[in-house]
Structure 1
């Protein structure tokens, strides 16, 4: 996996593709993206306990708006675990409580709503790193997770989604985000 030092500028993908309840939004971001949790075997990282409720809050973000950004067609496994320990049905996963989370194929987006506005960009494997390897994310990321409000992901023009963003709606339509809402562009023909 690509390595970024915590709080370094995120430069992995030029455009954003964020899955929202209404559809996938694809655009060139106007906000500053900050990397968190892009670990590598040959790099040191901070180990410490996280606050009570942090893992559950991070999983809620993973499950909600912004929890599936820049999805890939393949999977990246944890570089710190032996491969058989992480795989289930051939896919990387982490168990937390009664949940089995399949990770390693997307990123998480987490906005910082107060100035200066910026967006944390983390691989979804960050959940595994925290649970299994005692990774301690930076305090400002922990604070943002604990204070998370998913209203940022409402599909409207604003600091997070620019006018002109392409919206691939769940109903099979391709639309464009405008200051007045979502404007239908055309139907997407599905192959049979």
Structure 2
């Protein structure tokens, strides 16, 4: 069964946020966030969600963020339960997008699929936050830096 959360409700799935270095797949860091995490795009079959057009620039930027940020990746995967079982794409991670002061948006990695395949329209505040990401800075981040600006200096790090 998929996890469903209303958009903009407080994220409470995990106490810590964890980033894995995409290049090594080994290096990781984790910390208890000082910011409030708000759910975006945790959809499930049988539950209503907002639909409507979204700007192409937003979708492209969100996809680009997902190319550089590897967040809360787990060993298992979950499939889109809005799709027929034999056609459902799978995901196993999350995305963090900084919002206003003290707010970060927490979305499942399948969010771009929900937008492009199922017409999901995230809240405008999330779309604005994605468009505000400094993608050049995030894409150039190399371990021990990660593509997210609010990692505390005392984050625990696994080097091997």
Q: Same fold (TM over 0.5)?
A: yes
Larger-gyration structure (1/2): 1
Aligned residues: CA RMSD: 2.1
Unaligned runs of at least 5 residues, structure 2: none
Following TM superposition, by how much is the alpha carbon of 1:20 offset from its aligned partner in structure 2, in angstroms? 4.2
Distance 2:63 2:104 in 1: 17
Unaligned runs of at least 5 residues, structure 1: 87-91, 93-102, 173-192
Once the two structures are superposed, the pairs formed by residues 83-162 of structure 1 within 5 Å of their partners are: 83-86=85-88, 92=89, 103-112=90-99, 115-150=100-135, 151=137, 155=145, 160-162=150-152
- TM (norm. structure 1) is 0.71
Following TM superposition, by how much is the alpha carbon of 1:36 offset from its aligned partner in structure 2, in angstroms? 0.2
The corresponding residue for 1:70 is 72
Structure with greater helix share of residues: 2
- TM (norm. structure 2) is 0.84
Structure with greater strand share of residues: 1
Distance 1:32 1:20 in 2: 23
Alignment size in residue pairs: 149
